[in-house]
Amino acid sequence: MPDRRPSMNHDAGHRSSPRTDVVMLLIWAVLTIAPSIASAQGAGIWELRTTPATVAAAQKAGASNALRDGGKVTPPGPKKIGLILLSAQSPANQRVVAAAQLITKLFHFKLIVCDPNFDQQRAGECATSLVAQQPDAMMSTSESAAALGPSLQDAHRLGIPWFSLVAGVAPSPAFIPYGITGRDVGSVYDSWLFAEMAKRKGPGVPLTIMALGAPAVGLAINAQQQQLIEDAKKIRDAKIVVLHDLDLSNIVQDTISIAKRTIQQYPDLGGTWTVCDLCVPLIAQVFATEERPGMQRPVVGGDYTMPQTISLMRQGKVDGVVDVAFESSVYVAFDQLLEKWARGRAIDVDPDVFGKAYGLKFMKPYMVTRKNVGASGPIPIFGADYKDYFAAKWKAEFGVGD
């Protein structure tokens, strides 16, 4: 019998399985080797765009909110944090791990990461293993309560706070819901996509869309897909000609196959929509082999940035992707934990905590496009300056940092 235990370590490396080997080989063949979590952190692949003015505003807001929360206080002692990913293949998940590693290092906490790699059974095994280690807090990225199994409820009964990050999932009393809603992400991307398709195709031309969804992932993904359907109905010439549910166990080959089939069946395809970050460069590479240059090429885009997507964007083969500063949700979750542990304050469980509880508005979706990505350099993160805000706040409260 193959070893089905989930992988678990501080660097979020994962145990190889036959399915994983095939997926990673395909990714290498099409995209070259995807960056590891460690290299993503070390090389600074994603970088928050700031100006002296935004830095100053963030520092001022952070220091002000530190006083609001009670001023100087003794930082909490050693803590253990468990983190369950959806998959370490996902750059969004890589960014969450990198942020959690930076914060736990700052406060001398212990971080244990478990990667089920899209496998719901292994997600439950991750939950069982981590909860058995009696962590002080748990976090998971886009995993549903059903996937996490009875250990989620065990943690709830034990009083272990459990934050659900990245994409929103079905509500559960055991979750603190800090994931982005699919409606918020979808409305930003759809507005851009329809405008880009209309620009490229011209007036009166049908705006046909290939949509690749992943309903198995959960609530936010389904909500984003529903948003697309509703938004398409509002545009007279818009039509979703392909609405395909991705096979998560064979996601790379499935994406390649459906992209090839679609562009052959619909040579005048207007654009692409997908909730899968690693699918965007796959689609772009397939379309590039069809040799449809300039205005004949479909508008290529989808969800979330990754190095290969940005490289193809700079080459003119990808047009834009919606993204979110997922890192900011990790900082907010840790801030809530720090206030609980240091001051005994209750954790804010309002999904709108990002906009209501802080001096800056975090987790607002934005578009990364050929116009704002730049010709070279790190992948830009736009929006509120969470790094300088929390650096100032935690320095004033806990005396940590430079």
Q: Is residue 123 part of a domain?
A: yes
Least confident range from 213-217, 317-321, 334-338, 357-361: namely 213-217
Read off the pLDDT of residues 69-116 as tens digits, 9 standing for 90 and up: 999 999 999 999 999 998 888 888 999 999 999 999 999 999 999 999
Residue 185 in this model has a pLDDT that exceeds 90: yes
Residue 10 in this model has a pLDDT that exceeds 60: no
Read off the pLDDT of residues 77-89 as tens digits, 9 standing for 90 and up: 999 999 999 888 8
303 shares its domain with 195: yes
What confidence score (pLDDT) does residue 294 get? 54
221 shares its domain with 82: no
78 shares its domain with 150: yes
Q: What's the distance, CA 46 to chain centroid?
A: 12
169 shares its domain with 212: no
Residue 289 in this model has a pLDDT that exceeds 90: no
Provide CB contacts within 8 A for 332, sequence distance 6+.
178, 353, 354, 357, 358, 362, 363, 386
Residue 237 in this model has a pLDDT that exceeds 90: no
Q: Is residue 301 part of a domain?
A: yes
Look up residue 22 and give its two tokens.
């095939």
What confidence score (pLDDT) does residue 282 get? 96
The candidate with the shortest Cα–Cα distance to 311, out of 379, 255, 252, is 379
Q: Is residue 19 part of a domain?
A: yes
Give the CATH number of the domain where residue 190 resides: 3.40.50.2300
Average pLDDT over residues 225-249: 93
Please compute, for residue 332, the number of CA atoms within 13 A of its CA located in the half-sphere on the CB side: 32
Give exposure, 239-267, as e/b (b: 16+ Cβ within 10 Å). Answer: ebebebebebeebbebbbebbeebbeebe
As a whole number, the mean pLDDT across the chain is: 87
Residue 299 in this model has a pLDDT that exceeds 70: yes
Distances (CA, A) of 341 to 137, 175, 333, 337, 349: 11, 18, 12, 6, 16
287 shares its domain with 351: no
Q: Is residue 348 part of a domain?
A: yes
319 shares its domain with 332: no
241 shares its domain with 335: no
Q: Is residue 2 part of a domain?
A: no
Angle (nearest 5°) at CA 333 between 329 and 336: 140
| Lookup result for tokens 């280690």 | 133
Q: What's the distance, CA 358 to chain centroid?
A: 21
Q: Are the CB atoms for 239 and 208 separated by under 8 Å?
A: yes
pTM here is 0.84
Domain span holding position 288: 182-323
Instruction: Determine the straight-line distance between the first and last CA of the chain, rounded to whole angstroms.
Output: 51
| pLDDT level of residue 293 (50, 70, 90 thresholds) | low
14 shares its domain with 63: yes
Q: Is residue 247 part of a domain?
A: yes
The candidate with the shortest Cα–Cα distance to 80, out of 125, 37, 123, 131, is 131
Q: Is residue 214 part of a domain?
A: yes
Name the H helices within 203-295: 219-234, 251-265, 279-289
Between CA 274 and CA 262 the distance in angstroms is: 14
Read off the pLDDT of residues 132-155 as tens digits, 9 standing for 90 and up: 999 999 999 988 899 999 999 999
114 shares its domain with 80: yes
329 shares its domain with 228: no
Tell me the backbone φ, ψ of residue 337, rounded to 5 degrees: -65, -40
310 shares its domain with 341: no
The total of structural domains in the chain comes to 2
What confidence score (pLDDT) does residue 34 get? 39
Q: What is the DSSP letter of 400?
A: -
329 shares its domain with 309: no
Q: Is residue 369 part of a domain?
A: no
